[in-house]
């Protein structure tokens, strides 16, 4: 069933939302875990959080910088198999250049490497290098909205990870969840779609009219942030 959302800008997560880097992420972190004698207990590609925060939970404080530099090197070096997810190119092409941004938990070097591999050039890019706090804090989405010159509460956040949905909600934005990293009922988004082929957008004056064919049998809804 469709959900209609009226917003002024769209703020995208990157991994799992616009691109699939799962094999590369999991290869790099598996190597890192073996080197550092660490067990994350979950696929790194499903976490949706800055790597430095994850590293800091598993190594002594005095070794965090070294361990983070190690995983960053591993990830930047491995972009093999990165693909653009269904519907992404069509949706991005339909958005005005001044009305969308990417806010990712990747560091700046890693985001640049993956976007280059995917052939995506965002007009605004916020990385873990740009804010003091990463997801699930709202800072990345607040900064992306600020750079676009649009209030965060007038934005739609598009996310695949629970931490990112929490960040979008904390920023005051409406949140559209994409299936992949978590089940629909675990995401906690305003609407959930199977992928971005289920999303269409048109510009209507100063507004963006977004129609999402949601997963499941939820009723039709209209959400306005204008």
- Decide if 185 is catalytic: no
Q: Please give the average per-residue pLDDT across 49-56, as a whole number.
A: 89
139 assigned to active site: no
Confidence band for 63, pLDDT divided at 50, 70 and 90? very high
* Mean pLDDT, rounded, for 69-92: 96
- The mean-pLDDT minimum among 51-55, 81-85, 207-211, 216-220 falls in 216-220
Q: Which candidate, 205, 107, 211, 105, places its Cα nearest to that of 164? A: 105
| Main-chain dihedrals φ then ψ at residue 77, nearest 5 degrees | -75, -15
107, 130 Cβ separation under 8 angstroms: no
User: Which one from 15, 130, 139, 190 is the annotated catalytic residue?
Assistant: 15
Residue found by looking up tokens 């958005």 in the block: 95
Where do the domains of the chain lie? 2-20+82-224, 22-77
Q: Using 50, 70 and 90 to split pLDDT, how confident is the model at 30?
A: very high
- Regarding pTM above 0.85, the answer is yes
Rounded Cα–Cα distance for residues 213 and 197 (Å): 9
For 119, residues 6+ apart whose C-beta sits below 8 A from its C-beta are 84
**Tens of pLDDT, residues 133-145:** 999 999 999 999 9
**pLDDT surpassing 80 at residue 222:** no
pLDDT tens digits, one per residue of 105-135:
999 999 999 999 999 999 999 999 999 999 9
Beta bridge partners of 192: 177
Domain 2-20+82-224 has CATH 3.40.50.1000: yes
């Amino acid at each position: 069933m469709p959900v209609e959302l009226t917003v002024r800008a769209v703020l995208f997560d990157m991994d799992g939302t616009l691109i699939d880097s799962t094999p590369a992420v999991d290869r790099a972190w598996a190597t890192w875990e073996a080197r550092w004698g660490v067990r994350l207990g979950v696929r790194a590609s499903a976490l949706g959080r800055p790597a430095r925060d994850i590293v800091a939970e598993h190594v002594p404080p005095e070794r965090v910088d070294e361990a983070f530099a190690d995983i960053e090197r591993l990830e930047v070096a491995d972009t093999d198999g990165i693909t653009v997810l269904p519907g992404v190119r069509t949706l991005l092409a339909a958005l005005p250049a001044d009305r969308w941004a990417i806010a990712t938990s990747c560091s700046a070097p890693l985001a640049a490497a993956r976007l280059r591999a995917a052939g995506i050039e965002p007009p605004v890019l916020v990385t873990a290098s740009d804010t003091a706090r990463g997801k699930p804090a709202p800072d990345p989405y607040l900064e992306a909205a600020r750079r676009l010159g649009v209030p965060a509460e007038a934005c739609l956040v598009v996310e695949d990870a629970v931490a990112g949905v929490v960040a979008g909600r904390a920023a005051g934005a409406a949140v559209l969840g994409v299936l992949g990293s978590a089940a629909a009922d675990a995401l906690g988004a305003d609407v959930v779609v199977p992928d971005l082929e289920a999303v269409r957008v048109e510009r209507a004056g100063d507004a963006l009219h977004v129609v999402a064919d949601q997963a499941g049998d939820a009723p039709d809804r209209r959400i306005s942030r204008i």
